[in-house]
A and B are shown apart, each in its own frame.
Chain A
């Protein structure tokens, strides 16, 4: 391991490894303090950034933050690294990389071409030298387009996950929340339910409910009931209508083990989902969720700061050409991200890192009620991530998830974002919305409350 040093304010700071340097250079965050990895002082933090700016990108290939022998995510990162794609940036330092990313030379095509040559640690490192505006400016240039029954990530588009959760998986309760979301123009990324149990029967019932609505109204979208990957594989074998295969993933082998997954299991699920071939306009069939703090929470972080570990989860994700990846940014609680400021920063970092690594990044912009955050933080985050070109956001009725007891963006928030930034839904979904009479003459979602809309048949049947 190398030693990294810099001098600031007459004091010489020394960092004993790349992992220590990355952690000390991270913006202040409660999770890194909890792990004992954060900088001891504001000056040490900046000193770490000075030292990090001089590190050649190639050093990240020479010094893995978690040893190759100890961790299959490291092996995945090293073994799949594309040296040819890396060539255009191989001579840069982290500081130089930041300037290159911000320059006109790094346009959408160039960034897409270099993506396979970048490792999670490289993009995490450069993010630590970037301001929030830098993270927006660069992420905005990156385009990642995926498709299943709708196309996600096109310029000028913003998709949403409609999340009609219910604490006891009551079908009528789910359908009621589903109707609410559809009438507000939501659901083009996925209609996705977090079930209350992982029981295959309960999951199958919900899958059939969603599949029934999608088929009956010919909605160009996909469903997902977010169960463990082994449950999905099992259900696929038994003929259940599985569109997307879901899994929570993390950036170390041990953290993935705490989720009950291995790369082998994910390989299997990827193959099984591919065989089903239920997509119409594309074949990206996986859906991953991630979030800073999960490796620390599982005591599986190997002394690596929480943002760098999070970026490593994206290396896992990109192996499987997912339709959707989202960071559940404020979900785990204030011991990892303390307040709105830390959650915003993490959201921008995650989105930037995921995009640079070639992923269709969306966000669950959210907080728990014991974090120091409120609905104004949601609005701030939404606006910045909308400008940054997020592929999709997660939306719940009124921004209040009654199943998971946390606050997220609402269907109304998505309407706001589309309106102020001139963003439109996924093209196939937009055409469907128009066909079913939900778009007004400007292409905005019509307010149909109080009118006899065909979709309300769903509600009338339930209410009867």
Chain B
């Protein structure tokens, strides 16, 4: 056992650093550092830079155009990117639909879709959830009826993240209403420009727009866009969700989040002294830092087991639960740290280029909106209650 990186690992770290330094647009980096909202183009400029270097799909095997990195290299890459304030990679193409396509797709589908994902030329979004089907995904009802060499899709999807920016959506649709819930589902790729698709924003508690409802009204989708076999979409769905779990712990982001709380606590005053000198507040930060470390080493253990060829163990399942709780705790502490100046509501300031003067200190105005918004992390991607049900059933045998 060894905690230290090898010489090669260190050289790789320097290479990643140099790349980020040279390729991450300064304005994007600044937005991330300040916790501002990003535009589609901000993500695209960064992801396309990664794509040109062949690093965007860094979890893919070589034969599908990935870099073929070791798990240590992936770990280093993620940490360096987070440390240097690179935006998170939008997972829908690179981590979700891409692997589904290279695992279950036809050669033609691979040739058609994978290059656009590798190079970040195409923005994908995920169409799983429906108004009546959240945790119980298999109850979904959006229908796809075969008509010659097309499917005709009717229904609606919801909680569609960044669908208003997307070129394509991957959907779970019901192709057989009469079979068992999980059996009549198919996995379809749909061009968002197809007639009959309407995207309607859902406004979040913090006033932001990141999710949508998507309506399908007699949308004609070529049968060639079916991935895997008709009626076997649930296999793709489960494969995709398992892929989604790794990396969802957001450890590098949380480490940066703890640093940000420390920075706020250094800048805020309490009785004429920096808040960070207040014993009880220091202890809260220390407690959080220990939680992040426990999570990090749990993730490292999983990565190490994978590097040795093993399947990731049960620890992987609770990375999501603890990861989301820690992200939420960070926002709670930031909110506590800023005191009264959490109160002014200045949504425009969350966007770059807003020429409004912040009312309190620069670090204060994002505290409350983030706290409200980050409640989502224990809901999306399978709620924490559902994750716990999975662990108790699959891991503990209850």
On whether the two chains bind one another, the answer is: no
A residues sitting closer than 8 Å to B (CB atoms) are none
Residues in B lying within 8 Å of A, measured CB to CB:
none
